[in-house]
Amino acid sequence: MSKINEVKAMVEAGKAKLVPGLVQEALAEGNAAKDILQGMVDSMRVVGDLFSAGELFVPEMLMAAKAMSKGVEVLKPLFADQSTSSLGTCIIGTVEGDLHDIGKNLVSMMIGSAGFDMVDLGVDVTPAKFVEAVKDNENVKIVACSGLLTTTMTKMQETVQALKASGVTGYKVIVGGAPVSAEYAASIGADGFAPDAGSAAVKAVELAKN
C-alpha cells in the first residue's frame, strides 16, 4: 500500500496518533503535500458517506476529524506564506450553530499562505462576533465564512446582512462550505464564493486587489 493510502486508511479509522508519522513518511517517499492533503480530504468524504449510511456514528466522525487535524499540522509549515508584504487582514470563522472546522482551517491555511494576516474566530461564530472583528482589527480586506450544515445556512445569510449593515466598509465577504453554491452566495449578497480551500485563496487575492 502506498503511504498516501496508509494515511487515508488511518484517517478513516480515526488513528490520530499514527497519522502524523505516516504523513511524514509519505512526504519522505516524495509525495507532494497537496496530494497527501487531498487524500485526507477524500477520506473525510468516505467517513461522511459511512455516517449517512448509518455505518458509523458521531464519535467515529470525531476521531477521524482529530486524525486529519493531526495530519494537517504536519503539512501546515509546507503551506506557510513566503512573502514579506501583507495583502491585509482576513477574518475567518465557521458560522453560528456549526462546529465543523477542518474545512475552515484548510481555507485559513491557504488564504494565509497567499499573504493575508489571518484572524481566526473559530467555530459557532455569531453575526455579532464577525461584525466586532471587522471593527476591532486593522486593514480588514476579507471576511471568510464557512458553513457545513444546511440547517445553519440561514446564519450565513444573517452574517452577510449584519456585516453589510455594520457601516464598516473596505472589505469583501466570501462564503463556502459543502452546502454552499455560487448561486446561494450571490443570493445572500456575498461578494464571492469558492468551492475549496485553494480557490478560496485565489478568490481572496482577486477580491482584495479590486
- Judged by the rule CB under 6 A, the positions of this chain that interact with ligand B1M are 41, 44-45, 47-48, 51-52, 58, 61-62, 64-65, 97-104, 106-107, 144-146, 148-151, 174-179, 194, 196-197, 200
Listed in sequence order, the residues at least 6 apart from 204 whose beta carbon sits closer than 8 Å to its beta carbon are 87, 90, 111, 114, 116, 141, 142, 144, 174, 192
Q: For residue 89, is it left (φ>0), alpha (ψ between -120 and 50) or beta?
A: beta
Q: Which amino acid is at 45?
A: R
Nearer to ligand B1M, 28 or 123 (CB): 123
Whichever of 127 and 177 has its CB closer to ligand B1M, that residue is 177
CB of 3 or CB of 177, closer to ligand B1M: 177
Compute the least distance from the CB of residue 153 to ligand B1M, in Å. 8
For residues 84 and 119, which CB has a smaller minimum distance to ligand B1M in the complex? Answer: 119
Shorter beta-carbon distance to ligand B1M: residue 20 or 176: 176
- Measured from the CB of residue 84, what is the shortest distance to ligand B1M in angstroms? 25
Within a 10 A sphere around the Cβ of 118, how many other Cβ atoms?
17
Q: How far is the CB of 99 from ligand B1M (least distance, A)?
A: 3
CB 121 → ligand B1M: shortest distance, Å?
12
> Considering the complex, what minimum distance in angstroms separates the CB of residue 97 from ligand B1M?
6
Q: Which of 91, 7, 83 is nearest to 44 (CA)?
A: 7
CB of 81 to ligand B1M, least distance (A): 18
Residues 6+ apart with CB under 8 A from 191: 172, 173, 174, 207
121 vs 144, which CB is nearer to ligand B1M?
144
Rounded to 10 degrees, the C-alpha dihedral 20/25/28/31 comes to: -80
Residues ≥6 apart with Cβ < 8 Å to 33: 27, 75, 78, 79
Phi, psi torsion values for 163, nearest 5 degrees: -65, -45
